Amino acid sequence: MKRWMFFVYLLLLGTLTLGQYEGFFPNQNQILEQIIPRIGAKYPLPEWVSPGLVVLYSVQAGNRTAGEEGQSGYYANGYSILLVTNVANNISYGIWITILSDLEGMTQVNTSSTALPIYINPEQIRDILAQSAELAKQNIIVSGGQNPDGSFLLSYTFQSDLYGASSYNFIVSQEGRILKFIFLEKQPTGTSLAEYTFLKTFHVDWPKLEFPEVAQESHSYTILSSALGYWTPIGKTIVNFNGFQGPLAVYDVSYQLYDVPYSNPNSKLTAIPEVGPFYIHPSLLQKDTILEIPDIAFSWVNEIGEDGTIYSTIYFNGQALYRAICDPRGLALSMQTAIGPMTILQQLEM
């Protein structure tokens, strides 16, 4: 398989919508869906976990896979940005942006919009450890306790004879702030590891938003690649709205690559009012700058096009990693994601 097509294939193992690529990323959606409700939904969140909170982590990630052609592996490092947009049912929701660069200098961006791993009440850790015997009957192994420095350790592992094991390891301060979390996934075909280390936190002004009308629509996108020096159609994405689940919207996503024998006809995706699989809230598009972190040369900015469309772009170290061209309603007419020297374009089918 051509190297560029191999990367696109990896990206489609995630969700090819509004920047949601996986590539050599840890499976953020799996982290969110499997573990957050189990570790953070019982006790109220402290006041400092509120809309507008931004938490910055450094990230080291890698994977190793085994196949017919032997072993292959990747290592990358970068940053994760967690922006809280809403708090509901003792869980913080928002935007999770991860930017990673591999050893060859190839940089990718990944976004998720769902529950965020920011806080675990120490009492919740004690409760989980007290349930270790019962959880073991469900093939869930938990361990941990309080460290000499006063922080807490929680290890939470899902085991399966068929699929291997997924382990989530957290170091939490006495106040409940997640200082470090490590995600380790072992499967018959390979191993993935990601380590997130807390760097800083700050607040920005953030509006309270409801879902825009466009969020309840369904759309299809043609996927094109610039790998050959010109735009080549390589696949298709179909996103269908499937109602609301608490504070989240739910979508059914299917996609396929034309030259690769792989498709995913039954993928689920959640979204928040601010961003979804094919939209950015019109109120955010009215801002000149949605979010800026000068310490790491990150910015998410908007520009008005000559035809009245809005160019919403994520920059890192001066490079435009992601750009959505939206109409005034917030619907993405096209979405471009840079992967090293290559660009993947999703073009709305009218």
Residues of the chain above pLDDT 90, percent: 58
Domains of the chain by residue range = 3-203, 213-348
Mean pLDDT check: name the lowest of 60-69, 244-253, 294-303.
60-69
Q: How many CA atoms lie within 13 A of 192 on its CB side?
A: 19
Q: What is the tens place of the pLDDT at every residue in 104-122?
A: 878 888 888 888 989 999 9
Residue 13, pLDDT > 50, answer no
Count CA atoms within 13 Å of residue 88 on its CB side. Answer: 12
Residue 37 binned pLDDT confidence (cut-offs 50, 70, 90): low
pLDDT at 318: 94
Q: Tell me, what DSSP letter sits at residue 217? A: -
Cβ(277)–Cβ(207) below 8 Å:
no
Interval 35-58 mean pLDDT: 88
The residue assigned the tokens 């990367």 is: 7
* Distance between CA atoms of residues 115 and 93, nearest Å: 4
Kindly report the backbone phi and psi dihedral angles of residue 39, in degrees, each rounded to the nearest multiple of 5, phi listed first.
Answer: -110, -10
Tell me, yes or no, if the pTM score tops 0.85.
yes
